[in-house]
Every structure is written in structure tokens, then in C-alpha cells.
Amino acid sequence: MFTAVIAASAILTRFLPVAVVPYSLQSLLVFLAGGVLNRRTAALSILAYILLGLVGIPVFASPPYGGPGYFLMPSFGFLLGFILTAWIVSFCLERWGNSLMAHILSVIAGIAAMYLIGLPYLFIILKFYLGQAVDVGYIIKIGLIPFIGLDLIKASIAAFISYQVRKNLNWS
């Protein structure tokens, strides 16, 4: 289900202006996957989404929308980061239990994982594959600053929703 919903959310993003790293609801859904699924299932649902796109199904947010060449897109590192993000959110909740604070801290850890993979990948593709003269400051300017505030809001929403889901289903 999360694989399909993430794909659908990426398709909706196509109506926004094209950017190096597109705005999307995908991270919200990745946080939710980690918040309500076990770590293996959460990570596999994101991996399935990425594999669907890499085999050519047009499920990604920016052109060319799919295919093996998407691996060389500057934003692809964030998609790879989603796998670790979902896994970390779920892993943290398995360790910390089902409190609202545990959910908040787990999605913050997930954000860190997403940027830990996404930003270096962005740098490597822009600098070494596309040959652009970029530095770390520029990568932070285009890959972190425009997105971190919105990601924190999405993480807060996901933390609250996943906490309520687990609470209502009596998950620990």
C-alpha cells in the first residue's frame, strides 16, 4: 500500500515547477511507513517503489519519471535515503516504544538519515557527473534550506498520525 501511495504522491508533484530536488509529499509517506510498519516491511515498501521506477514505470516526481537513467538524477540520493529513513523510524519505535515523543524523535532521526544520503549524492552527481562547480555551501542552499522546514512539518504530522494509529491498534 505504501509503495502505491508514494508513487501516486510523486505523480501529483508533476504539476509543480521543476527543481533540482522537487517538493513532494513522499517524505511524509516515508515517515508514516516507518511509523506504522515494521522496519523490514517499511524499508522494502520504499525499495519496491524505487525499483518500479528504475525498471521504467513512470513513478518518480521529475522528468524522465522512471528508467535506469534516473539513477543519475541529482535528487535520486533522497530516494535512496528514503529506504534508510523508513527503516530508522521503525527501528527507533521498536526500541523506544509508542509514545508521542518516541514518534517525534524517530522521524527526526529519519530526517537526518534522509539528508545524510541525499545531500552527498546530490553533491557527487552535480560535481562529478554533471561537472558543475558546486561546493558544500551550494548543496546546503539548494538541497537542505528550501526543504528542511517543510520536512519538519511533514515529520510532525507523520509522528502524530503514526502515534495515533499505533495507539488505537494497541501496538507497543
**Tens-of-pLDDT digits for all 172 residues of the chain?**
999 999 998 887 766 665 556 678 899 999 999 999 999 999 999 999 999 999 999 999 888 889 999 999 999 999 999 999 999 999 999 999 999 999 999 999 999 999 999 999 999 999 999 999 999 999 999 999 999 999 999 999 999 999 999 999 886 5
Provide the domain count of the chain: 1
**C-alpha angle 31-20-157 in degrees, rounded to nearest 5:** 20
- Domain of 44 in residue numbering reads as 2-168
pTM for this one?
A: 0.92
Instruction: Report the CATH number at residue 66.
Output: 1.10.1760.20
Burial of 65: CB neighbours in 10 Å, binned 0-12, 13-18, 19+: middle
